[in-house]
Amino acid sequence: MKKIILSSLILSLVLLASSCRQNDDNAPTPKDQNEEELITTLRLIIKENGSLVNTFSFRDLDGVGGATPTIEDIILDANKIYTCTLLVLDETKNPVDTTSVEIEEENDVHQFFFTPSAGTNLTVSYLDYDDNNVPVGLETEFVTGAASTGTLKIVLKHQPGVKPTSGNGNEALGETDVEVEFNVEIQ
């Protein structure tokens, strides 16, 4: 009887040990480096000759479909040249995740696109590029003309495997991480 109990105990332990062992198919996988970023905040840090002029923000802390996001109007002086740095954040995390860092690290799969509405005297030029010399858009130059009003649409595309390796990029490719339309007043 002791042999049967001992044999049963050993068999149970073997079965328990083999069921606890992780199968490679169930092993945890590293974070998907091509997953879209969660973006709750987009800040445009505007400078003239290296001095801060103003910061304009988009914030949507509860994501798409929740409360209405807050979007500050961009107000710039006429006939000026500004530099604009985009600060991209995920404020759902503690501490806040500076998504701009990840976008810069993965600049070969990201690009911002800037579209001023017709009649808005604003031209946007890229100042930063990926390793293939394709624009990224975390750093841009804003050139204003005569006084006007309109909008500026900013779209961040996530383009793993499809971002062009030459030219100015293609907004039609990839997934949209964020799309914001700011009201613009040039005075």
What does pLDDT average to in each consecutive run of 10 residues of the chain (187 residues)? 40 37 38 62 97 97 85 98 97 93 96 98 98 98 98 97 96 96 98
Q: Which of 155, 169, 172, 136 is nearest to 39 (CA)?
A: 155
| pLDDT number for residue 19 | 38
| pLDDT number for residue 35 | 53
Cα–Cα–Cα angle for 33, 45, 42, rounded to 5 degrees: 40
Domain ranges of the chain: 36-186
DSSP string, 4-68: HHHHHHHHHHHHHHHHHSPPGGGS-----TTSPPP--EEEEEEEETTEEEEEEEEE-TT-TTSSP
What is the rounded CA–CA span in Å between residue 109 and residue 119? 31
Model confidence pTM above 0.75: yes
Do 42 and 55 contact (CB within 8 A), yes or no?
no
CATH of 36-186, one of 1.10.1040, 2.60.40, 2.40.230, 3.10.290: 2.60.40
